[in-house]
Structure 1
Amino acid sequence: MNSYVRMLRMIRPYAPQAVAAVVFILLFSFFSVFSFTMISPFLKAMFLDETPPPAVVQERLAPEQAPATGPDGHLNALQKTLGWQDEAKARVLAWTYRHFLNGTRQENLLKICVTMFFLLLLKNLTRYAQEMLLVYIGEKVIRDLRDALYRKFTSLPLSFYHKHKGGELISRATNDVLMAQKCVGVSFTTLLRDPIQIILFLAVALFLSWKLTLLALVMLPASLVVIIRIGKGLRKISHRQQEEMAGLTTTLQETVYGIRVVKGFAMEEHENRRFLARSQELFRQIFRFNRFMKISSPLTEVMSSAVGLFILWYGGSKVFTGGLMAPDLFLLFFACVFSLVKPIKNLGQVNNEIQAGMAAADRIFEVLDTPSEEKLVGEGRDPGSVRGEVAFEHVDFSYLPGEPVLRDVNIHVRPGEVVALVGGSGGGKSTLIDMIPGFYHPDAGAVRVDGVSIRDLDLGKLRRNMGIVTQEVILFHDTIFHNIAYGLEDVTLDDVREAARAANADEFIMKLPQGYETIIGDRGLKLSGGQRQRLSIARAILRNPPILLLDEATSALDTEAEQLVQEAIDRLVQHRTT
């Protein structure tokens, strides 16, 4: 329930639209119920003889419509013999006769039909207005949730991504957000509109016969028990369904990104079997979810219809004896009772949708509640213009408790100095590199830049003073120009070309059909490994950082590409701490 409350709190910025939606919902509900009440005068105009209204009604008509005879004290005497409910009914009937049944049948029928037309027109206009407002609010809230989730993804530390699969996180930002939309979309509309309609129809039914209405409500607790029990089961199933969707997305992502390896090892059938197994499990969970969800609506309708039919039998038998109410009023009462079935059934369905949405919202808020990278560091001092001094002082670090990667590491690098870390695979070289920009923080000791612990620095501003070139080049599905100029503003083509020349990249770029405006594809797959690496170096050169971090930048290149990249690196490291 906490997740649902948090979703509703996101409506606060759109309070004016929410208030307007509630007003239109009230108007829509009023016009809906009022149009139903026209059943009674319609039946009177169509099927009853043109006889004078009952005496109890005549006394409440306007003086020019009331009978000429009758003492003035008759009304007072009559009021004493009537209860408040009968008195109210008499006044309503008097109003009905005064406005709709004071002429010939043809005239009365015309007035009733015209009135019903305008009521239906107003009903549908207000319905359109409230639905558009609620769609606006719902989509705005989901947009805000999606944006907040993306901002959270960019602010989380690298350690978070080591604990979660990429496909799982993508699923939370796509599938889970769509499921959570039900909390503020269709379900939110139903939770506002249908309870109001239930109250209004119930009020009319109580007004007509409180005894029959109470009898009709006997089965309501049973319906609520069914709805609640089904809803609890649906939330658990929906949570499993979202996990399976995340697993399927992860499998798909791994296959697409690793298609070269899949084909190289002739593992197409193996990956097909793995995906089909995930797909079958997802189908099983979705079918199970729908099996529970779909049964709530017919169960609610059957129970509600049973109550209505019982009222029809019991009330109809009383009408025959003339001891309950007039036939037209009984039909109006029966229509109101059966009009309760649809909103009650909708509320049963909306509970299922909310439970599914809450399961998805739980997974989303789990990410949003994870501490951001900025909250894991200190006050965030501005490092200013960095000179380039880097120091490790008695640094200990471990990814998992009890499994140390670094122990009592002490390194001091002066500004402009080039230092190489040499060691076997898994020795902690990349970990040391990642600790300088604050991707990880030591368990003990300190990493300092210009004598200040990186825990006390603004990490964003610190990283703007660094250039990073890794073995795994990260490029974006964009132009070469924007990939080199990534993170920089007001950069000209001449600036980018100068950096590309220094990285031995300008020559091959100019041979491409669109030159620097060439789209390089997802992760730069349209380029060779050496070309991608030189673009990465050009990006670092253009930033002109005082500190340069190179993590096996040439290990995966052939001899010719390595020579070109090495020449670019030699120019890049000049006058920089590397």
Structure 2
Amino acid sequence: FRILFKNVRPYAGLFAVAFVLMTFVGLFEAGRTALMKSIIDELPGASRGPSSGLAGLVDARNYLPQGVEALPIIAALLVGFTLIRGASEYFSSILMWRIGVSAVVDLRQRLYDHILQQSSEFFTDHPTNELTTHIISDAERVQVSVSTLLADMLREGLTFLFLLALVFMLNWRLTLAILIVGPLVYLLTSRFGRRLRKIAHSTQEGTEEVLDVTQETISGHRIVKAFGMERFEQRRFRDAVVRLANHQVRAARVVYLSSPILELVGVLLAAGFVLYAHKEIKAGAMTIGT
């Protein structure tokens, strides 16, 4: 992340605006969740009394005048919160994408300038496809990291913090459970992420090898035909393609394995929450909306 933020630093102003907008996304997402609690508690058959204590601070009914029909007002607030959250997410995503594209332009220019200053031995040791891959593909990863990964990490992280604060105000026991289980989910996702990064690096090297073999064979076709090396080049190309395919299959195994494992963890957590909520609701410590 140090290198990533170094590329983003020239666009600190745009990044600050995007960060504020992403904060709005998390804030109004938590606000929508709190409004949904108030709506559910206001429905017929639910507990109609406004919440008290910390939960009362996020219950919209406590801020409405006495005798006012709460449901239409809360529903209108829900629509307004959704519009603000959607607009904030849109503009923050556009700004982060612009920052990512601008960072890639600067990075590609620096790489190109650096390559032009190298000696002839450097170009002999490094094939053309390897250099062009660094300029195109590696620089493209920076754009993806800034525009997508960094933006998602900040947006989802801020949303998580606001929702965690909301859950703490509604039920502090659930907050403790989240804090206990959270590291387990983080360890699982980070482990899958590390494996995917290693495989992605191997896949890129395999792609470079296929491009090198193809370029060498096509550009030197006269030599290949003069020495009757067609069969040799065919085997060489197939070996490179098979190695690339093996890397891609390994990546697919990690991707398709991570989804069911994380889904299983989520279902186990949901099942535990349902049992706990049922017990608390029967005891009167929680409402259906909570």
TM normalised by structure 2 equals 0.89
**2:199 matched to 1:237?**
yes
Could you tell me which residue of structure 1 aligns to residue 181 of structure 2?
Answer: 219
For residue 126 of structure 2, the aligned residue among 126, 139, 164 is 164
Letter in 2 for 1:5: R
CA change 1:87–1:49 in 2 (3 A) is: closer
Tell me the distance in 2 between the aligned counterparts of 1:121 and 1:92. Answer: 20
Cα displacement string for residues 275-311 of structure 1 (whole angstroms, at most 9, x for unaligned residues)? 2221121111122123224433432332133122201
**2:27 matched to 1:30?**
yes
How many aligned positions are there? 290
Letter in 2 for 1:88: L
**2:64 matched to 1:99?**
yes
1:5-154 alignment, distance < 5 Å: 5-48=2-45, 53=49, 87-93=53-59, 96-99=61-64, 102-104=67-69, 108-154=70-116
Whether the aligned pair in 1 keeps the contact of 2:210 and 2:241 (CA below 8 Å) is: yes
Tell me the distance in 2 between the aligned counterparts of 1:150 and 1:239. Answer: 22
Secondary structure in 1 matching 2:43: helix
Percent identity (aligned) = 25
Could you tell me which residue of structure 2 aligns to residue 306 of structure 1?
Answer: 268
Could you tell me which residue of structure 2 aligns to residue 327 of structure 1?
Answer: 288
Could you tell me which residue of structure 1 aligns to residue 245 of structure 2?
Answer: 283
Whether the aligned pair in 1 keeps the contact of 2:18 and 2:96 (CA below 8 Å) is: yes
CA change 1:100–1:205 in 2 (3 A) is: farther
Deviation of the 1:237 alpha carbon: 2.5
Secondary structure in 2 matching 1:11: helix
Secondary structure in 2 matching 1:328: coil
Tell me the distance in 1 between the aligned counterparts of 2:138 and 2:167. Answer: 42
Whether the aligned pair in 2 keeps the contact of 1:146 and 1:173 (CA below 8 Å) is: yes
CA change 1:301–1:172 in 2 (3 A) is: same
CA change 1:266–1:50 in 2 (3 A) is: closer
CA change 1:168–1:160 in 2 (3 A) is: same
Deviation of the 1:132 alpha carbon: 0.2
Letter in 2 for 1:103: V
Tell me the distance in 1 between the aligned counterparts of 2:263 and 2:207. Answer: 32
Letter in 2 for 1:31: F
Deviation of the 1:264 alpha carbon: 5.1
* Structure with more relative contact order (C-alpha pairs < 8 Å, separation 6 or more): 2
Deviation of the 1:219 alpha carbon: 2.0
Deviation of the 1:127 alpha carbon: 0.7
**2:161 matched to 1:199?**
yes
Tell me the distance in 1 between the aligned counterparts of 2:217 and 2:66. Answer: 75
Tell me the distance in 2 between the aligned counterparts of 1:37 and 1:155. Answer: 59
Cα displacement string for residues 143-179 of structure 1 (whole angstroms, at most 9, x for unaligned residues)? 2211111111101111212222222222222233333
CA change 1:98–1:176 in 2 (3 A) is: closer
4+ residue runs over 6 A deviation = none
Secondary structure in 1 matching 2:68: coil
Deviation of the 1:92 alpha carbon: 4.4
Deviation of the 1:91 alpha carbon: 4.7
CA change 1:305–1:203 in 2 (3 A) is: farther
Deviation of the 1:263 alpha carbon: 4.7
CA change 1:15–1:180 in 2 (3 A) is: closer
Whether the aligned pair in 2 keeps the contact of 1:142 and 1:181 (CA below 8 Å) is: yes
Deviation of the 1:25 alpha carbon: 0.2
Whether the aligned pair in 2 keeps the contact of 1:172 and 1:246 (CA below 8 Å) is: no
Whether the aligned pair in 2 keeps the contact of 1:219 and 1:304 (CA below 8 Å) is: no
CA change 1:259–1:150 in 2 (3 A) is: same
Deviation of the 1:266 alpha carbon: 5.4
